[in-house]
Amino acid sequence: MTHLGYILAAYGAAFIVIVGLILWVWLDLAAQKRKLARLDRDGTRRRSRRPAA
Amino acid sequence: MPSLTQLANPTRFLDFSGKLIPWFAAAAAIVLAVGLYYGLFASPPDYQQGDTVRIMYIHVPAAMLAMGCYTLMAASALGTLVWRHPLADVAARSAAPIGAAFTLLGLITGSVWGKPMWGAWWVWDARLTSFLVLFIMYLGLIALWRAFDDPARASRIVAVLILVGFVNIPIIKFSVDWWNTLHQSESIFRMGGPTIDPSMLRPLFLMLGGFGLLFATLLMGAMRAEIYRRRVRTAQLVAARPRASVAAATPVSAAASPASAS
């Protein structure tokens, strides 16, 4: 295979960027869900989720 | 199957996207694996470029998604400004970092291809320069969103800027026709059909499909995170107010958040 180093560099960059994106979305989603669950547990709810008075 | 209007409700979107994401992720993994097999092992080297043509199988999908993502953001900006669509700003804001990442990947892979083929990592060619401008625009928009505390206020200002910046998309697309560029002219989606041999077109389309499915998966995941982030913010704002004023207050900042529509 000619120019193997360049090909590996391009695919390596693609791997890093894509895995980075997947991790970022996954971790961000998990963090937001965790925060919302903690607020919910502490009794802090948005108006639409409060039991009717 | 829910309609687009029904999906405008963030809670319905969360339900629907939660079911779709595993299917899209699995499909993306399968299509990308097949595309990589064809791209790296089961397609011939180009008669001029040799094996560096294999870089095209990631460069072209990344570049197309970079422009497609901005087009989606422009459509979302219209949704924010014209229809006040509750998910439009969420979609635009979630798409921006993904679009920036694909633009960066397009720049890196293009540069890595350019060195052995053109003898230079970078040239100030119309296509390359306009594509670099796209990357800078993505970064600027992300920075602007973060500069505002209130997402509702930021959404309208950023939406106007997204629409202004959309002028760069046709410039990128047609730069190879309008100016004498070192970058090759359009060879896939053109009048008269592709100029690429089917043996190379197959891995290219497979990778395009795989990247597209991956983008849809990432976008749905990022939108879910953004909806939850706005719910957290709304709940924190409500918690920060004194109880009495919460009961008496008319919905102001909390209602301004698009996520509060659910």
Residues B27-72 have pLDDT tens digits of: 999 999 999 999 999 999 988 889 999 999 999 999 999 999 999 9
Task: Determine the topology of domain B20-180+195-233 in CATH.
Answer: Four Helix Bundle (Hemerythrin (Met), subunit A) (1.20.120)
Asked if the Cβ–Cβ distance from B55 to A26 is below 8 Å, we say no
Phi, psi of B221 (to 5 degrees): -65, -45
Residue of B nearest to A52 (CA): B247
What is the predicted pLDDT for the residue at A44? 74
The string of DSSP codes covering B166-212 is: TTHHHHHHHHHHHS--SS----SSSTT---S-HHHHHHHHHHHHHHH
The string of DSSP codes covering B101-121 is: HHHHHHHHHHHHHHHHHHS-S
Who among B105, B231, B238 is closest to A14 (CB)?
Answer: B105
Distance from CA of B192 to the nearest CA of A (A): 30
Residues whose CB is less than 8 angstroms from the CB of residue B12 and which lie 6 or more positions away in sequence, other chains included: B2, B6
Pairwise CA distance, residues B244 & B262, whole Å? 24
Per-residue pLDDT of chain B in tens (262 residues, 90 and over written 9): 566 666 678 899 999 999 999 999 999 999 999 999 999 999 999 888 899 999 999 999 999 999 999 999 999 999 999 988 889 999 999 999 999 999 999 999 999 999 999 999 999 999 999 999 999 999 999 999 999 888 888 899 999 999 999 999 999 999 998 888 888 887 777 777 788 888 899 999 999 999 999 999 999 999 999 999 999 998 888 888 766 555 554 444 444 444 444 3
Q: With CA atoms as reference, report the closest residue to B136 among B106, B104, B166.
A: B104
Distance from CA of A14 to the nearest CA of B (A): 6
Pairwise CA distance, residues B187 & B48, whole Å? 15
Note whether B77 and B163 are within 8 A (CB). yes
What is the predicted pLDDT for the residue at B240? 81
Pairwise CA distance, residues B170 & A26, whole Å? 33
For an interface test with A, the pick among B12, B49, B105, B223 (most A C-beta atoms closer than 10 Å) comes out as B105
What is the predicted pLDDT for the residue at B179? 86
Who among B98, B115, B234 is closest to A46 (CB)?
Answer: B234
